[in-house]
Amino acid sequence: MKLVPVIAISLLAVACKKETEQEPSPYNRIANFTIEAGGSTVSAAMSGDSILVYWPSYLAQPSTIQPQIEVSEGAAISPASGASVAFKTGTAYTVKAQNGKEKKFYLKVVISQPPIQIYEGASYIAPLGGEAVIDNGSAMRYFDRDATATKFYLVDTAGNATQMNIEFFTQHDGTLSMRVKVPATGVKIGGYRVRISSGTLTHTTENYVFGVLYPASEKPIPASLEAPVTVKRGETITFAGQKYFDLKDAIAYTYDENYNEKEIMPLPLVSFTTTSATYRIPANFPAGTYQFGDWGPNAIGIRLRITNFIGWWNWKTEPKNFVEIPGYIAFSVTP
């Protein structure tokens, strides 16, 4: 009779041992997959056997990644978390459950790209052989900031597109910016549409918002009037100078009694060379003797209108660029 309790206790111990034993885990899934890039964390989404990485277009796409990966408890993954792998669709991972069951997962890279935006309320300018610096946070944005992946074109009025060299950089205040480098040759002076291609998207401006200008050093330089001038209405006057080109009508102006500048009238352009420009004095030009270069009701000044594409330029309004005739002389217009 004394053996019965001992047997009962032994059976109880065996029963408890069987209840606490656990089968090896069969789970072999990826619970979390993240990538650190450019100060940002990109998290993947899991769908079946795909590791979906929606890569922001504004981040440069690396050739390799070192993702941090969490898997089912007790499971192992190969390549391991933190290991460097090719960042491309098709890169494979194998997750092995605790019970030895394996499952393969495949990286799928999807470029998450909103429509490219180019702000057309502004004008963008660069001289031949120079560059334009453009804000990528507001003016032109939503494209890959990688010069090998993003292409920038100037499109002329005939629809011909010329690719420009570009360079991405960050300014001292943290502004994301882009340099657009215009070559000294191979591009004509004038207004252009802008076309940007990046990833799967391309956007072209509706308006000719980019002006390629003459370098400031090419600005015409009129010679000073050193001797008194007398010219008859209806006849011509010639102004000497340097680097004259693409001239238009000149403007004669004076001042009212309050010393506010006012236009007298245009002087039609007759002809010009690189060193001289000839204009006609209109037949109805007010006759009299003026003080050229002075400031007051009896003063007169003359400005030569030059090319639209030098100095200041705006695609929305036709710019009027001028150079002033210097000098301080008596200027007489006779009937």
Residue 5 Rama label (left phi>0; alpha psi -120 to 50; beta): alpha
Tokens of residue 33, six digits: 């997959």
Domain locations in the chain as residue ranges: 30-112, 117-213, 219-334
- Beta pairing, strands 261-267 & 269-272: unpaired
Q: Is the Cβ–Cβ distance between 199 and 111 less than 8 Å?
A: yes
Residue 296, phi then psi, degrees to nearest 5: 165, 180
pTM attached to this predicted model: 0.66
- In this prediction, residue 31 carries a pLDDT of 95
Q: Please report the pLDDT score of residue 52 as a whole number.
A: 95
Tell whether omega for the bond before 127 is within 30 degrees of 0, i.e. cis: no
Res 288: pLDDT: 97
Give the CA dihedral 140, 142, 147, 150, nearest 10 degrees: -100
Assess whether the region 117-213 and the region 219-334 belong to the same CATH fold: yes
User: Residue 179: its pLDDT value, please?
Assistant: 98
pLDDT of residue 180: 98
pLDDT attached to residue 271: 98
Please tell me the CATH superfamily of domain 219-334, with its number.
Answer: Immunoglobulins (2.60.40.10)
Which amino acid belongs to residue 19? E
For residues 99 and 25, the answer to whether their CB atoms sit within 8 Å is yes
Q: Are 175 and 129 in contact (CB under 8 A)?
A: no
Write out the chain's pLDDT in tens, 335 residues: 444 454 554 544 545 555 556 789 999 999 999 999 877 899 999 999 999 999 887 677 899 999 999 999 999 999 999 999 999 999 999 999 999 999 999 999 987 778 999 999 999 999 999 999 999 999 999 988 899 989 999 999 999 999 999 999 999 998 999 999 999 999 999 999 999 999 789 999 999 999 999 999 999 999 999 999 999 999 999 999 999 999 999 999 999 999 999 999 999 999 999 999 999 999 999 999 999 999 988 999 999 999 999 988 999 998 899 999 999 999 999 99
Fold of 30-112: Immunoglobulin-like (2.60.40)
Q: Residue 181 CB: number of other CB atoms within 10 A?
A: 14
CATH class assigned to 117-213: mainly beta
Res 60: pLDDT: 76
Count Cβ atoms below 10 Å from residue 207 Cβ, excluding itself.
15
